[in-house]
Amino acid sequence: MPSYIPIQYNPNELEIVEEQEKPKAETPKPPETKPPEIPKDKKKEIITIPPCPDPKQPLRVGSYANSKKLEKVKAFKLNENNECIIIWEPVKFQESYIPEVSTIISTAVIGFVAASSPIILNAIKPIIKKLITRKKKSS
């Protein structure tokens, strides 16, 4: 069972304690500073940063190094001498030897149309002959 013991309060035995004043720290005055003089005759230096990658360079981010597709461009970075450095990354096996899905689908559709064209031609040929003979009879 919880219990509570109250504080013993006796006003006659109360001790009043005052805080001592803290000594004030003397902060030194900051040194006087003069603003730097800016020469008015000096011409402004023009800093030119070359574009990275160079617009004339054929490689872009995601481009392959060669036809073997073993490496591709990950990024371009400027070094201390303002030269553009190409950062390469290795290419996964599937990406280098298996074409994209869109290429596979378009090749399959072209192959299907090429293979089925003789069948379609044999179905359409008699219909066209009948239309031509009717046209000749009616004229």
The mean pLDDT of 67-79, rounded to a whole number, is: 86
Which tens digits make up the pLDDT trace of 24-72? 888 888 888 888 887 776 667 777 777 888 788 888 888 887 878 888 8
Question: Secondary structure of the chain in the HEC alphabet?
Answer: CCCCCCCCCCHHHCCCCCCCCCCCCCCCCCCCCCCCCCCCCCCCCCCCCCCCCCCCCCCCCCCECCCCCCEEEEEEEECCCCCEEEEEEECCHHHHHCCCHHHHHHHHHHHHHHHHHHHHHHHHHHHHHHHHHHHHHHC
Query: Omega into 53 within 30° of 0, i.e. cis?
Result: yes
Q: What is the pTM of this model?
A: 0.39
Q: What is the pLDDT of residue 79?
A: 86
**Cα separation of 74 and 69, whole Å?**
13
Residue indicated by tokens 């303002």: 82
Q: What is the pLDDT of residue 42?
A: 60
> Domain spans of the chain?
49-98, 99-139
Neighbours of 71 (CB within 10 A): 16
Which tens digits make up the pLDDT trace of 115-132? 998 888 888 898 999 999
